[in-house]
Structure 1
Amino acid sequence: MTDTTLQLDEPIGDCEAVEDTAWTAATWLAVLSMAATSFALVSAEFLPAGLLTPMARDLGISEGTAGQVVTATASVGAVTALFSNVLIGKINRKTVLVALTALAVGSNILAATAGEFWLLLVGRAGLGIALSGFWALSVAVVARLVGANATGRGMAIVTLGVSLATIAAPSMGALISDWLGWRTAMAMTAGLAVIAMLMQAVSLPTLPASTSNSLADVFKLTRRRGIQLGMLAILLLMTGHFAGSIYVRPFLEQVTLLDTQSIALALLGFGIASVLGNVAGGKMADASVRMALTVTAALMAFAALILVIGGAYAAIAFTLVALWGFAFGMAPVVLPTNLSRSAPDALEATGSLMVVSFQVAISIGAVVGGYVVDNYGAAGPLTLTAILAASTVALALLQPRN
């Protein structure tokens, strides 16, 4: 493990270089605590995809309105991503991480027990703060835990929690909500966060920070054309994805006429395919990020469009939901890579813009998707997904070859 007095706020490339040796047990535990946190937080983030219908029924609201729990998480998260490093100042980063996870515990409990929709929104907003704060610090913390030469390996383990959550949360949420109710499913994510928080408290070393961060460099990056195009690609593709994916369950219920168990199986296929897409996206981005972005957007556009046309047939629906999951798995690798290639000299600041872009896209997608599903039916949001993903294909083709 690297010296814990190393400045956390320095760029990763400035971290203390260490030999690529076997990690100690303490290092493994610390990195696994970060992976457990990513699993707990992302599980809570994706859970509404499997709970939307019973949640809306219980609270006496439309499915479009219920989908705004995603908006609350993402919109607050967007602001947090931009200002988190400024707001935490010189507070020990271990303290910050434990506090953020504790906030996730409280937020999930509030969401699970909320008798009114506005209380549910407050709980989801707290989760948004925890999510964005965690991801804003994750790379720098992992770099300190394992050293600069092993940062990629460390982050691969941390993001494994994301992949597992993508598989488990929507499908298990749908099953648990059917058996025990959506509130029980929501409460279980609070339990996951408690486990992650305890692991952090026990295994993370002290991580002092001696300097604060400024927004000036982040805002300067937005003047670069490559950054503008990269952010626009995130906004288009992720707005399209979340406009449609949040309302996949209503589509499968109303159009494909699947029961709860079948929907859970379809969502499980989505999650498994997203893991495969993550691997494929990394390999493709190394070869040509322009081509990788084109393929990612094209697959999502195709899956959403054909799902609208032929989604009444169960076999077609299962196949295209999985294809959509594959494209979504590629996106978290391809989109950040596409953005960061325009600012290799400021990767941390670029990371902040990336998180903000994702969260804004999630917010817009949930709001617009909710309006469309309430006014045009279950197929409307998926049509919007196809249009925005196709627009991303056009944008990718306009970018310079690399």
Structure 2
Amino acid sequence: MQSLNSSSSPQAAQGGWPLGIWLAVLSMSFATFAIVSAEFLPAGLLTPMAADLGISEGLAGQAVTATAVVGAIAALFANILIGRLDRKLVLIGLSMLTVAANLLAAYATDFTMLLIARAALGVALSGFWSLSSAVVARLVGIGAMGRGMSIIFVGVSLATIAAPSVGALVSDFYGWRTAMFLAAGAAAIATVLQVFALPRLPTAAGNNLMGILRLTTRRGVQLGLLAVLLVAGGHFAGFVYVRAFLEQVTQMSAAGVAMTLLAFGVANFFGNLVGGAIADRNQRMGLATVGILMGLSALGLAFFGAELIPAAGLATIWGFAFGAGPIVLQTGVARAAPDDLEGAGSLIVVLFQVSIATGAVVGGLLVDNMGVAYAIGFTGIMALGAVALSTAPRPQVVPAE
């Protein structure tokens, strides 16, 4: 197959992608769907999983936490350990690891075995996301990176919407282990697609920890990572408690909550598509748009969420804004470090995982001490803080030595 080096052809960068590039990007999108589905699958399996393994639902829920914690740690070291290996082989290996992790979870006989399986998934997850932006930039060119990442994130949106609900449905009829087997099957299909669709992706040099950390001295990277903390941390501080808000403040029925969350997910999908186009055209405008829409919708929900229709509409706008958010954020950090896209990818993964953890903790404290509306309002304030970053001056990129 064709070998790609630091960037793709000008034709790809300008959007006239040949079929081979389309197939490569779509294979990564399906791999994203498989990996993220596996990550969120336990959300729909907690009750039967806990009963089968003889543990509490709270303890079973730590299977998700284990994936995130291991992912945050592995993100810094994954790109170092792979050295100069062809990135195609690495991505295939990560998909195979996802297959193994799901199979191990399906055969788990106790909580320890389940944790080991989820830890392995955390390694696969962090490794994939650390490489994704760099590989996409090499396939389509950094000028079309936003569009490429928007296609990758379609897999995220579909997995976020489908995995918990489909997993719960399969579990009800065939058992939670069958759901894990299906997740392994999806990862196996992703592996095969990548074998045939991805071109060779050799690299001239490996990564090192000091080189990755040195990127944080660049002002553009600093601003990008701060934006990740504000947008992602703010999002998870409130979104974790959206269901509680809709039930307690809006007083929606169970069906109303389900429909609102579905609308959030669908809007998130379309936000992915729009986010890629905005990021390629004007990254600063993209960050400002995400911050304004997410900030005002969350604040509006906090203040006016007692009414049914405004609550549903504002939650949908929030979903659209955050759908665009990760693409705009990843593109911004990558363009601040075009000479070390893999290192930048590692930093983004670490910051996202830290943002998820800190956001959920802060949101929990606000809910327990002040009320659920304050957690939603905090989301809005954090998002509007990102708008200020969109106006901050960014110096010319100076490659790391």
Q: Which residue of 1 aligns with 2:2?
A: 2
| 1:321 positional shift | 1.9
Distance 2:219 2:22 in 1: 40
When residues 145 and 382 of structure 1 are mapped into structure 2, their CA distance, relative to the original with a 3 A threshold, is closer
1:280 is aligned to 2:274: yes
Secondary structure at the aligned position of 1:89 is classed as: coil
1:301 is aligned to 2:277: no
Using the size of structure 1 for normalisation, the TM-score is 0.77
Q: Which residue of 2 aligns with 1:39?
A: 33
Distance 1:271 1:190 in 2: 24
Moved more, 153-162 or 94-103: 153-162
Secondary structure at the aligned position of 1:2 is classed as: coil
| 1:247 positional shift | 3.3
1:336 is aligned to 2:301: no
What is the 5 A alignment of 1:2-401? 2-3=2-3, 11-12=6-7, 17=9, 23=18, 29-47=23-41, 51=44, 54=47, 60-61=56-57, 69-111=63-105, 120-142=114-136, 155=149, 157-169=151-163, 172=166, 188-204=182-198, 211-258=205-252, 261-286=255-280, 288-370=282-364, 373=367, 378-379=372-373, 381-397=375-391, 399-400=392-393
Moved more, 327-336 or 310-319: 310-319
Secondary structure at the aligned position of 2:217 is classed as: coil
| 1:367 positional shift | 3.9
| 1:74 positional shift | 2.8
Distance 1:180 1:250 in 2: 30
Q: Which residue of 1 aligns with 2:398?
A: none
Distance 1:75 1:238 in 2: 16
Letter in 2 for 1:45: E
Any unmatched runs of 5+ in structure 1?
none
Q: Which residue of 1 aligns with 2:399?
A: none
CA contact (8 A) 1:297 1:392 kept: yes
| 1:280 positional shift | 3.4
- 1:335-358 deviations in Å (ceiling 9; x for gaps): 233334544454443333222222
When residues 384 and 356 of structure 1 are mapped into structure 2, their CA distance, relative to the original with a 3 A threshold, is same
| 1:227 positional shift | 1.9
Letter in 1 for 2:78: S
Using the size of structure 2 for normalisation, the TM-score is 0.77
Distance 1:279 1:129 in 2: 28
CA contact (8 A) 2:146 2:276 kept: no
Distance 2:224 2:120 in 1: 28
- Count, aligned residues: 389
